[in-house]
Amino acid sequence: MRPFEIFDQMNVADETNKTALLSISPYLVEAKTAKGGGHVTMGVTAEVITQLITGDRKAILLVFDKKEYDRIDKQLQPANNEH
């Protein structure tokens, strides 16, 4: 199964069960170049830090095309407002 299929199921479960299996942190703290690439620092809550340290959560960096995301989001807005 593809990761985004799994994430979608987790997201639906969150909405249904009022849980937080999947969370998003949009807080970019720092991005800088380094040899061979770069480093990105993201901000999260203290609770998430604890869950990352204990292994209860795993973090990934998702990078996407903002213009395409906004275009699709705008297309879906009427459908999203019907719910």
Domain for residue 9, yes or no?
A: no
pLDDT digits (tens, 9 = 90+) for 8-38: 999 999 999 999 999 999 999 999 999 999 9
Is residue 27 within 8 Å of residue 44, measured between CB atoms?
yes
Is residue 25 within 8 Å of residue 48, measured between CB atoms?
yes
Residue in this structure with the two tokens 């095309």, named with its chain if needed:
65
Domain for residue 7, yes or no?
A: no
- For 59, the token pair is 């973090």
pLDDT digits (tens, 9 = 90+) for 45-79: 999 999 999 999 999 999 999 999 999 999 998 76
Q: What is the C-alpha to C-alpha distance for residues 55 and 79, in angstroms, rounded to an integer?
A: 37
Domain for residue 36, yes or no?
A: yes
Total domains present in the chain: 1
pTM: 0.74
Output the pLDDT for position 82: 57
Output the pLDDT for position 81: 61
Domain for residue 19, yes or no?
A: no
